[in-house]
Every structure is written in C-alpha cells, then in structure tokens.
Chain A
Amino acid sequence: GAGVSQTPSNKVTEKGKYVELRCDPISGHTALYWYRQSLGQGPEFLIYFQGTGAADDSGLPNDRFFAVRPEGSVSTLKIQRTERGDSAVYLCASSLTAGLSYNEQFFGPGTRLTVL
C-alpha cells in the first residue's frame, strides 16, 4: 500500500556533475510522470511514460536531461553537466494509466536538487 517513493530526498552536487534521481511508482500503475518545481512556482511537466516508452518528452528543457523506465516500473531521471539553474524539486507521479479518461496522478515527496 505504499505511495510513490523518490530517492534521494535531497541531492547536493557541483556544477558540471552528473546526477540520477530515482522514482518508484505505485505498484500496478502503468503511467509515470516527471515534473520540476522551482521555488515558489507550480510544477512543470517534463516527461511521461506509458509502460516502458516515453510517450511525451516535450517538457525536457534540453538534451542534458534524459529519463528511462526500462522495465515499466522504476524510472530514473538523469541530468548531465548540471547547471545552477537545474536546482529545483523534481517530482514524480504515477497513475493507473494515461489515456482518454483522466486518471488521478499520485505524487511522491520529490527530490530536492541543489547545484552549487
């Protein structure tokens, strides 16, 4: 009965480094979403998966950002050559599916990324 979990909860890195953020969705949820929330703002869509494939990656800001979900469950958001502007809370959400009818998205607590 666990919810969406994200690890680590906090990540501090230096400019130029590579980071990986992990998301464990609710068991049985086929759709998984990544959002980025900057301080004092609403979450911004990055990418979503239906199963193993990225169905929409239109929100990824540039090619430094990449996400995978190889087995259709756990997902990893990867950021290369981090920049100070990447500092934000990265939220993961999952839903039963993604399609014509709305399926509630359940959010994890987020990973707070700080790039020094």
Chain B
Amino acid sequence: QQQVKQSPQSLIVQKGGISIINCAYENTAFDYFPWYQQFPGKGPALLIAIRPDVSEKKEGRFTISFNKSAKQFSLHIMDSQPGDSATYFCAARAAGNKLTFGGGTRVLVKP
C-alpha cells in the first residue's frame, strides 16, 4: 500500500531550468514532510523539510509548496545545475519519527 505517491518517475531539465516534483499522501496523521536527495551508492540526505501548518518553505534554490487540504506537496529546484542530478524522494513522518517514502524521481540536468 503506497501511502505517498510521487511523480514524475524521471525528468530531464536544461541547466538553469526549473525542476518540479510532486507528491500526494493519504494519511492525515502525517505531521512532517522532508525531501531527500540520493546520489548513486550513497544513502539519502535531507534536503529540505516542511510542517503542514506552513504553505511554503524556501532554502536557497529549493522550495517546498504544501497544500494541506489537497494533501499534496511539491519540490521546486530553481536554476537547476548539473550537480543537482540525483534521485529525489519525498517522505512523510508518522509517529515515532518513522518515514514513509515516495517512489523517487530521477532528475538529470543537462549542461
């Protein structure tokens, strides 16, 4: 049972462009929504996170938009760089800090 649905599975963007990744969740008990970045052969690393009482959070080139009523949230990567090429996972936290991950989006930034 996939509680967090992520799309698209992959995307290609030109250097300087915007990457947009979307996630939707079902469980209203989720109370924290982090995004992770993963490079091949490495573990996921926290990129940015948001609480459901906030509609937007920006850190550098990365922005999360959150729509609580629609149970959807998205990651925007502005001015995408080749170094941003990685797999991105949205996640949702339930009780006890347990994370439920989306299926991942493979991002390729072309120079």
A20 within 8 A of B: no
Across-interface contacts of B104 in A (CB, < 8 A): 40-42
Q: Report if A43-B97 is in contact (Cβ < 8 Å); known contacts: A93-B43, A110-B43.
A: no
| Contact between chains at A4 and B97 (CB < 8 Å) | no
Q: Which residue of A lies closest to B31 (CB)?
A: A102
Q: How large is the interface on A (under 10, 10 to 19, 20 to 34, 35 or more residues)?
A: 20 to 34
Give residues 18-53 of A contacting B (CB, 8 Å). Answer: 31, 33, 35, 40-45, 48, 50
Across-interface contacts of B44 in A (CB, < 8 A): 43, 91, 107
| Contact between chains at B43 and A109 (CB < 8 Å) | yes
Binary flags per residue of B60-72, CB closer than 8 Å to A gives 1, else 0: 0000000000000
Q: How large is the interface on B (under 10, 10 to 19, 20 to 34, 35 or more residues)?
A: 20 to 34
In angstroms, Cα B16 to Cα A43, docked, is: 30
| Contact between chains at A42 and B89 (CB < 8 Å) | yes
- Determine how close the nearest CB of chain B comes to the CB of A34; give it in whole angstroms: 11
Across-interface contacts of A106 in B (CB, < 8 A): 46
| Contact between chains at B43 and A104 (CB < 8 Å) | no
Instruction: Pick the contact of B43: A55, A95, A107 (CB < 8 A).
Output: A107
Across-interface contacts of A42 in B (CB, < 8 A): 4, 6, 89, 91, 101-104
| Contact between chains at B96 and A98 (CB < 8 Å) | yes
Across-interface contacts of B103 in A (CB, < 8 A): 41-42
Instruction: Pick the contact of A48: B31, B89, B98 (CB < 8 A).
Output: B98
| Residue contacts A-B, CB under 8 angstroms, 17 given | A42-B4, A42-B91, A43-B89, A44-B101, A45-B100, A48-B97, A56-B98, A93-B43, A99-B96, A99-B97, A102-B34, A104-B49, A105-B46, A105-B97, A105-B99, A107-B45, A110-B43
